[in-house]
Structure formats: structure tokens, C-alpha cells
Chain A
Amino acid sequence: MLRSAALVLALALCLPLPASGSGVAAVSLDTAMVRVPAGSHLPLYANAGARIAVPAFEIDPFPVTRRDFAAFVRESPQWRRSRINPAFAGARYLDGWRGDLSFGTPHDALRPVTQVSWFAARAYCAAAGKRLPTTAEWEYVAAASEAETDASRNGRFIADVLRTYGARRTPVAPIDGAAPNRFGVHHLHDRSWEWVSDFNSVLMGDDSRGASGHDRRLYCAAGSIGATDPGNYPAFLRYGFRAGLEGRTTADNLGFRCARSIP
């Protein structure tokens, strides 16, 4: 009884806080989707030469922010923190938010939203007429440095990305317009890990809980057997992260962005 009273009080206190744009520092970012030309991606685990063709598609230039996600849950109550179906997200879903519609202080508005499950991310994209990118799409776009569209064999770029991963902290820093990659996409490496639509089909076998099938390659011989590029530590880290995920997993450093097929 005391607890529910406290909850009501908390909600009352939190609701007046800005849930969307008001009070947020004026940052002008062009959020229009970026068109990525057709290309290909060589998965970390693949038979020699088994590049995956990636048709042209569109992708968000920025990860989805807390402000964006607050607008979504305003329209879709079933994805609010208090109403989320436990089958669709773990206990820390939207952890750190002050209430169902309040993500925190104005300073938090442009932080990439984290502590979101794959189910929630997928629902967000669907509501916007988009979808989550595939692993191949995401890796293809993220292989671009500022100067090259494919820097996956550029030792300096790989070292930079590895250093960037090591320097990331939570809560994830707000988005800004600095340093887009060659495709014009931001923050693929310097904010959080990001959901992909097929996080489990690439690495997992019969279900997404047990380790089986391809997943095993990550443990066998230090994960190096069958890897197409043992020197690409950042890719190992991403594949390793995805291997630990279930659809309902959420984490402080796991967010997402949306993509869209070009008809």
C-alpha cells in the first residue's frame, strides 16, 4: 500500500518533466534517412569468398534517442515501462527513466535510448514504417570510415574502432553531428551496441538461449577457427555481444537504429 502510494507520488512528480522537445538544448541534426548504395559484406564467420550481397537500402543516420522513444511509447502504451509484457523485455527495460513517459532530464533527451529489448526496438521501427537493419546491412555500413566505404582491412581504422569501444561509458553520451562515416551515418561505433534484426539467426542454432551451431565457433580455439579476418577485433566484439543476447535482453549500452528497404 505504502509502495503503490510512493509510485503514484513518483509519477506525479515525474510527469511534468519534459517528455519531448521542450527545454532541450537546440541541436539541429538532419535526421533524414541515408540511402546506402548496394554492396556486400563478408561475415566474420563464412566460407571463403561467401560474401553476402547487400541491396541498396536506407538507414537512420543516428541511433534512436530517448526523446524519440518517449514519443513512441506515448502512442503505444503497451511498450511503456509499467506495461511491458515480461515476455518481451527483461526487468531493467528502460531502466533509468523517471516514469513511463519521462526519460529523465533535458540533457538525457538526445542520448541513444538503451535498455530496450529486440522486441521493443522492432516495434518502434515498425511503428515508423521501418525495420531493424540486418547484420549484413549493419556491418556493411559500419565498415566505412570517414574516408572509405570499406575500411574493414584498414589497420588504423580497426585500431581506432577498438579504442573507441574501450572508451565508451554509460550512460551513453548524447548524439551529435560530428564525424559521419563515408555513407553519412553517425555513431555506429562511438555510442552503444545496436540491435540487428537477425541477431540470433546468424549465430544461434535451435533457440536463442543455448549455445549451439555457429555460436560454438566463438568458443572454439579462441573463436579463431573459421574467422574470415582474425585481426578484426571490433567485429569479434560485436559478434560476441550478439551471441550473448536473447530477444528480451536489455543493457545499458545496447540501443538501435532503424532501416528501410528500397522498393
Chain B
Amino acid sequence: MKALLTSPRTAWIVVGVMAAILVVAVTTLQARSATASAGTAAVNHISTNTIPMAELPSIRGEEMAVLTAPPHVPAPITRNYATKVKVELEMFEKTMEIAPGVEYNFWTFGGTVPGSFIRVREGDLVEFTLRNHHSSTVPHNIDLHAVTGPGGGAEASLVVPGHEGVFSFRATKPGLYVYHCATAPVALHVANGMYGLILVEPKEGLPEVDHEFYVMQSDFYTEGAHGEQGFQPFSMEKAIAEQADYVVFNGSTTALTGDNALKVRQGETVRMYLGNGGPNLMSNFHIIGAVLDNVYLEGGTVAQNNVQTTLIPAGGSAIAEFRADVAGDLILVDHAIFRAFHKGAIGMMHVEEVPELAERGRQIFSGPQANRPYTSSAVIED
């Protein structure tokens, strides 16, 4: 500024520009205040008045919820009215493989990690019966992020082994929500596998797709290093330090690989209900070989288009949709890539070629066209 003002001519130019800016600014301010004083609802500010009171539709009839184990998802809801949905979920503590030859004592909702997928419709009254198998060592409960109310149901559902608890809630807000155990010490219950997803389908339903899958990432902490064989107890030290031995999809390093790979056909549309149970790590979810056409960020109602990698927070979710245009294997990873290569965060989706679509697929991606030696003229100076 000082340099500019050394010449009187420059100084006058500066003053002139400043005056012009001032005039524009004042005019803008006046225009804004005129809009504001007109009292239109278009003013963009946050007020409690902009949050409507959720409608509580009347309840017709009742039905039993169909729960599914990952990677499966219950069929879309065809009802066009709210009903009472009875959910019965049993909690088991059971030893399963987290990796080939490595056993872990998982605490589960429904016998799987992640727990059973629950699907209800916006407005439904959900009557939740939570059962704790008599062989469990500790009490468990459930906090559903879809619940509006103290503890998300946790206080209302604490059950000791061999007991069941019942509570009800209205699924007032559509979205994909995490549920988890919230019994002290919560971190231990979550670290042992107690989480899953509940979908509150919007009342207008979701667009039809060819496949829906349920994939949930989570991190595990064992006394032995990654891959150390045999039974591996939980390591509290590593969990507190957030030094995961395993980062996996659907509870094991092989849940979505080999024969367990997800399978679709070329040209089909896929909707993935993605969750992250944590307890510690965020998921940088990426599918090698696909661009995600729609991603409902954080499991909410707004979709972002053409996403390469989406962030799923611990205790959060996302819904991803895409069309499998090209045949071949798609690879699901946490793009914090050491987790994929060294800790198990890897899965596969096999896209089977459809003859009518093979040529279109080759137009989108050629595959290898050449691979030959060449001689470089570049000189690298160290």
C-alpha cells in the first residue's frame, strides 16, 4: 500500500476505486435490508420455526419385521401406510473367525457382525423386543440412532442374560441409522461387534434397484498382532491407543472375498447401505473401478453425485448407488489404504458380463490395448 501511494496519480486511482467499492457495498446493503423488511420467508437463517413438528400418522395393523444377516437387506416396503412393526432381536456372545485361523469372541445383535439389518417405514411405530441369550456374560441394551428420546432406547432396554426388554418408538425421520449397544463400558461392547443398521425408508419409498447390499466397516483390537493364529482376546490397550489390528467389512477379513464376493450382472443397478461401527476409525469408503452415481451423505436425504470416496464416520452411515456398467471385479476398500492391504478392509463385487452389454462395456473401458517396450529420451539428474 505504501509503495502504491508514492505517486500522487496512483493515490487518486486508489481513492477512486475505494469510493466505488463503498458505493456498491452500501447499495447492496440497502437492497438486502429492503428484502428483509419486506418480511419474506426467503431469508436464509436458522430458526426453530423452520423445523417442522414431525407428523405422527395413525397406525394401521401390525406386522413382524423381517431381519436379515449381512450382506443381505430385507425387501423394500410396499405398504403406503404406517403400521406397528414388531422387531425381535436376540443378542449372543459367540466365538467366530475374524480372519482365517484367528478367533474372536464377538458380542452380536442376531449372531452376526454387523447385527441384523432392520427395515421400517417413515411413521411406523416400532415395538422393539430385545433379548439377551442366557449364555451371555454381561447385560446388553440398544441405542438406535433413529430414535428420538433419551439414550436412543438404551435406558429402556437394558437386559441381563436370560431376560428380554420391550420398548417402542416412532420412526419419525427417514434415513439410514446405526444402532449399537450402549451398556457400560460402551466402548467394549462396540469394540466386540455390537452394532448394525436400521433403515427408515421414506414414506414415498426408494427408487427400485436390482440389488441392495448391507456392508458395515469396523475396527478390532486383539492381543496378538494381525494374523496371529488361534483365539485372540480383546486388547484394551490397543483400543484406547486406537491401534487397530483388524479393519474389516462385515466382521471378518473374508466376509466379502472369494466365494463370499457380492455378485451382480453387468448393467444392473446397486444400492449399498454402508455403515461404520467404529469404535475408533473413520471409513474412507471407495470402490476401485466404480464412480458412485449417488451418495446419500451420512445416511441423510441429500444425494451427492459422482463420488469417488465417501467418508463414513464411526457411528454413521451412507447410502451409495451406482450402475455396474463394465464387467469384471470391483474392489471395496477403505482408501486409508494400509487398512486394506494389511488389516483386512477389502471386499469384492463380481460383475458378470451380459452379452448384449459387452460391446458397450468395452466402449466405456477398453481393457489392455497395448503393452510394449519403449525408449525414453528423458534424462534424470539426481
- Provide the bound-state CA to CA distance between A236 and B163, in Å: 20
Which residues 156-172 in A have Cβ within 8 Å of B in the complex? 158-159, 162-163, 165-170
> Which residues from 201 to 227 on chain A have a C-beta closer than 8 Å to any C-beta of chain B?
211, 215-216, 218-219, 222-223
Counting chain A CB atoms within 10 Å of each CB, which of B135, B156, B163 scores highest? B163
Q: Which residues of A contact B294 (CB under 8 A)?
A: none
Partner of B138, one of A92, A215, A241: A241
Say how far B194's CB is from chain A's closest CB, in angstroms.
Answer: 13
One digit per residue, 1 when the CB lies within 8 angstroms of any chain A CB and 0 when it does not, for chain B 141-165 equals 0000000000100111011111100
Q: Does B354 contact A (CB under 8 A)?
A: no
Contact of A159 among B135, B161, B237 (CB under 8 A): B237
Scoring A90, A215, A222 by chain B CB atoms within 10 A of each residue's CB, the highest score goes to A222
Interface readout for A227-263 with B: 1 if CB under 8 Å, 0 if not? 0000101001101110111000111111000000000
Q: A159 and B159: CB pair below 8 A?
A: no
Report whether B158 and A253 are in contact in the complex, using a CB–CB cutoff of 8 Å. Answer: no
- A residues in contact with B135, CB < 8 Å: 169-170, 252
Per a CB cutoff under 8 Å, which of B134, B186, B240 touches A222?
B186
Do B139 and A233 touch across chains, with their CB atoms under 8 A apart? no
Q: Which of B198-241 contact A (CB under 8 A)?
A: 233-234, 236-237, 240
Shortest B106–chain A CB gap in Å is: 11
B161 touches A166 (CB 8 A): no
Stretch at the interface among B67-75, B82-90, B177-185: B177-185
Which of A90, A162, A222, A245 is in CB contact (< 8 Å) with B187? A222
The answer to whether A218 and B184 have CB atoms under 8 Å apart is yes
Q: How many residues of A contact B (CB 8 A)?
A: 36
Chain B positions 111-139 with a Cβ under 8 Å from a chain A Cβ: 134-135, 137-139
Residue numbers in A under 8 Å from B284 (CB-CB): none
Contact yes or no, B160 A249, CB < 8 A: yes
Please report the C-alpha to C-alpha distance between residue A92 and residue B134 in the assembled complex, in whole angstroms.
Answer: 10
Q: Cβ of A241 and Cβ of B160 under 8 Å apart?
A: yes
Given A219-B155, A231-B240, A92 contacting B188 (CB threshold 8 A): no
B160 touches A162 (CB 8 A): no
Do residues B185 and A251 form an inter-chain contact, with CB atoms below 8 A?
no
1/0 per residue, CB under 8 A from B, across A60-97: the answer is 00000000000000000000000000000010100000
What residues of chain A lie closer than 8 Å to B184, measured between beta carbons? 218-219, 222-223, 236-237, 239-240, 243
Let me know if A240 and B183 touch, CB within 8 A: yes
Q: Are B158 and A211 in contact (CB under 8 A)?
A: yes
Q: Smallest distance from the beta carbon of A39 to chain B beta carbons, Å?
A: 25
Q: B134, B139, B237: which has the most chain A beta carbons within 10 Å? A: B139
Kindly report which residue of chain B lies nearest to residue A232, judged by CB atoms: B185
- Please give, as numbers and ranges, the residues of chain A lying within 8 Å of B183 by CB-CB distance: 218, 240, 244
- Residue on B nearest A221 in the bound complex, by CB: B186
User: Chain A's nearest CB lies how many Å from the CB of B155?
Assistant: 4
Beta-carbon contact of B138 and A252 below 8 Å: no
Residues from chain B with a CB closer than 8 A to the CB of A168 are 137
Given A211-B158, A218-B184, A219-B154, residue A240 in contact with residue B138 (CB < 8 A): yes
CB distance from A191 to the nearest CB of B (A): 12
Assembly CA distance A168 to B236 (angstroms)? 18
**B240: nearest residue on chain A (CB-CB)?**
A231
**In the complex, which residues of chain A have a beta carbon less than 8 angstroms from the beta carbon of B155?**
211, 215-216, 219
Which residues of chain B are within 8 angstroms of A245 by Cβ–Cβ distance? Answer: 160
Which one, A162, A215, A219, A236, contacts B234 given CB within 8 A? A162
> In the complex, what distance in Å separates the CA atom of A166 from the CA atom of B236?
12
Q: How far is the CA of A148 from the CA of B237 in the complex (A)?
A: 22
Provide the residues of chain A in CB contact with B137, threshold 8 Å. 165-166, 168, 253
Among residues of B, the one whose C-beta sits closest to the C-beta of A164 is: B233
Bound Cα distance A22, B240 (Å): 51
In the complex the two chains form, is B138's CB within 8 Å of A237's CB?
yes
Q: Which of B137, B138, B161, B186 has the most CB of A within 10 A?
A: B137
Contact between chains at B237 and A170 (CB < 8 Å) = no
Q: Which residues of A contact B187 (CB under 8 A)?
A: 222
Residue of A nearest to B161 (CB): A251
Query: How far apart are B372's CB and chain A's nearest CB, in angstroms?
Result: 58
Query: Are B182 and A240 touching (Cβ within 8 A)?
Result: no
B139–A240 CB distance below 8 A: yes
The CA-CA distance from A237 to B237 in the complex, in Å, is: 17
In the bound complex, do residue A244 and residue B159 qualify as a contact, i.e. CB atoms below 8 Å apart? yes
Given A159-B237, A166-B105, A240-B184: A251 touches B162 (CB 8 Å cut-off): yes
Sample 23 A-B pairs with CB under 8 A, ordered by A number: A90-B163, A162-B236, A165-B138, A166-B234, A167-B233, A168-B137, A218-B183, A219-B151, A219-B154, A222-B186, A223-B184, A236-B185, A236-B188, A237-B184, A239-B184, A240-B184, A240-B185, A244-B183, A249-B163, A251-B161, A252-B134, A253-B161, A254-B161
Smallest CB-CB A-B distances: 8 pairs: A223-B184, A244-B139, A236-B185, A222-B186, A244-B160, A211-B155, A240-B184, A218-B184
List B residues at the A interface (Cβ < 8 Å).
Answer: 105, 134-135, 137-139, 151, 154-156, 158-163, 182-188, 233-234, 236-237, 240
Beyond A170-B135, A211-B158, 7 additional contacts (C-beta under 8 Å) are A158-B236, A218-B184, A223-B186, A233-B188, A240-B184, A244-B183, A249-B163
